[in-house]
Amino acid sequence: MDDLILSIVRPIVSHPDEVRVERDEQESGTLYRLIVHPDDAGMVIGKKGRTAKAIRTVVYAAAGVHGHKKIRLEIAE
């Protein structure tokens, strides 16, 4: 799942080397924290959060196909 998130986000940011994903396994599911350069936060979130919503949709769909337990994607600077 980390590779999927990185492959979606790296092409749309100005600082692709500073994009990283941290995973936190919890009892209720998995939390993926996407960390980007502060200048790229707007690009990842998009107008009215549309880009972030699209990224989450793809990630959640992939998790459902692979039978993962519940996941969440959080975007941080």
Q: What residues have CB less than 8 Å from 38, skipping those under 6 apart?
A: 77
Tens-place pLDDT, residues 35-66: 999 999 999 999 999 999 999 999 999 888 77
At the topology level of CATH, where does 2-76 sit? GMP Synthetase; Chain A, domain 3 (3.30.300)
**Would you say the pTM of this structure is higher than 0.85?**
yes
**Residue 46, token pair as written in the block:** 């998009």
Of residues 66 and 22, more confidence is placed in 22
Q: How confident is the model at residue 19 (pLDDT cuts 50, 70, 90)?
A: very high
Domain boundaries, the chain: 2-76
> What are the φ/ψ torsions at residue 35 (nearest 5 degrees)?
-115, 125
